[in-house]
Amino acid sequence: MATPFTVSRRAVRRFLLDVQGLLSVENKKEPPTADNVLEMIKKLECVQLDPVSVVERNQHLVLAARMPGYQPTLLHKLLQQGKLFEYLANAACAIPIEDYPLFKPTRERIGQQLQPRLDELAPVIEQVLKRLEVDGPLPSRTFDSNQRVHGYWDNQLPKTKDTSLALNLLVDTGTIRVVRREGSERFFDLSRRTVPQQIWQEAETIDTVDAREQLLQKYLCAYRVFDPGDPRFGWSKMSASQRRQAIQERVQKGSVIPLQIEGIRRNYFILASDLDRLQTHAQIASDHDASAEGPIRFLPPLDNLLWRRERVEDLFGFSYKWEIYVPRAKRRYGPYAMPILADDRLIGRIDPQMDRKNGVLTIRLLQVEPDIRLTPRLRQNLDDALQSFARFHGVDSFKVEMQKSKH
């Protein structure tokens, strides 16, 4: 076992924020372009998609938190241009198209799992594929059907059109893919004719073992500070022992370095190529000079920084749970509570809601942690950030229903 690199908690979290585009704000005069957005997604490796629209959707909030002036049309443009594809990484994600071959093992595994359902719907699937072949790209609503089946989200009663389920199954197996979005509506087409030919050929011929190794490396590059306890490790179905073995093999090869983070018992690791960058942060960071008066950002529940909740608690001392699926009576903060990032600290939460019909942004809760002092400067920073958040949602102002300190 290699000797761990001993480092402070603050140095690690500043490194993590740095590599995830959250440590500093670039004051560009011009708003970001689609190419800038693609560059950011490549830096992050992928951005998680989610249909929940209490405010703007997760994928757009992730990018807006890192790129002042970002607009959702930029992500839609990249998808329509074929520079991104949507598939399962950390969950459903927008991923650079160059990485399409890496997900061959995932497509094969899911295909095997779904084969019984594919067989059940074989006539419907054949109908859907023929229609896409002739008329694609098409949205789900263009497929007429009176037959209802148990879809992915149906509980007791079958509520999903059989053609809609067929589309979802075909997306998950990689046979078709989302090629365009208009609002929340997805347009589907055949993967074999919409993935660039060279990339499609590589996806067809890549060795499954090589693809799995490259996918694991992509996961490590996305997380940057990682531990084998993560059940999503490698974005593959790996047992706990397989996860530990994968890390130890890389430690022995020298491509991964263990960390000893002061005050944290969990064993974390980084890529060896990141050591110099971490050391730079270690030289300038100390826990006693951490500030809550730096630039403010509001992070959506599925932001890349928040993917591993245990890591958030270890590095930031901040306990976070997305409460949208928690029964109303048991919620502590609200259904869409978003952590507040101030410089390199998570200092509290806002729970926003957008009334699109009336053009009103309501902050149902604004709460700071007990060790945070609401100085005049911090109050001003919060107000500025909320004004910016409102403008991003196309409104000129906001109202705060409840503001309190968590004491």
Give the domain ranges of the chain: 100-202, 293-405
Instruction: Provide the pLDDT for residue 29.
Output: 73
Please check the confidence at residue 396 and state whether its pLDDT lies above 60. yes
Residue appearing with tokens 């949208």:
324
Instruction: Provide the pLDDT for residue 28.
Output: 65
pTM: 0.94
Bridge partners for 97 per DSSP? none
Please check the confidence at residue 406 and state whether its pLDDT lies above 80. no
Instruction: Provide the pLDDT for residue 326.
Output: 93
From the list 53, 48, 44, 56, the residue with the least C-alpha distance to 94 is 48
Instruction: Provide the pLDDT for residue 150.
Output: 80
Q: Span 366-385, mean pLDDT?
A: 93
Q: What is the mean pLDDT of the chain?
A: 93
Residue range 293-405 forms a domain whose CATH class is alpha beta
Instruction: Provide the pLDDT for residue 260.
Output: 97
Span 112-131, pLDDT tens digits: 999 999 999 999 999 999 99
Angle at which helices 122-135 and 162-173 cross, to 10°:
80
- 100-202 has which fold? Arc Repressor Mutant, subunit A (1.10.10)
Number of Cβ within 10 Å of residue 214's Cβ equals: 17
- Rounded to 5 degrees, what are φ and ψ at 286? -145, 145
Q: CA 52 to CA 153: how far, in whole Å?
A: 14
Please check the confidence at residue 239 and state whether its pLDDT lies above 50. yes
Instruction: Provide the pLDDT for residue 351.
Output: 97
Please check the confidence at residue 80 and state whether its pLDDT lies above 50. yes
Please check the confidence at residue 35 and state whether its pLDDT lies above 70. yes
Largest pairwise CA distance in the chain: 66
Please check the confidence at residue 1 and state whether its pLDDT lies above 90. no
Q: CA 60 to CA 64: how far, in whole Å?
A: 6
Q: CA 68 to CA 22: how far, in whole Å?
A: 12
Q: Span 277-284, mean pLDDT?
A: 92
* Backbone conformation region of residue 182, classed left if phi is above 0, alpha if psi is from -120 to 50, else beta: beta
Please check the confidence at residue 145 and state whether its pLDDT lies above 90. no
Note whether 111 and 173 are within 8 A (CB): yes
Say which range, 10-14, 152-156, 363-367, 392-396, has the weakest mean pLDDT. Answer: 152-156
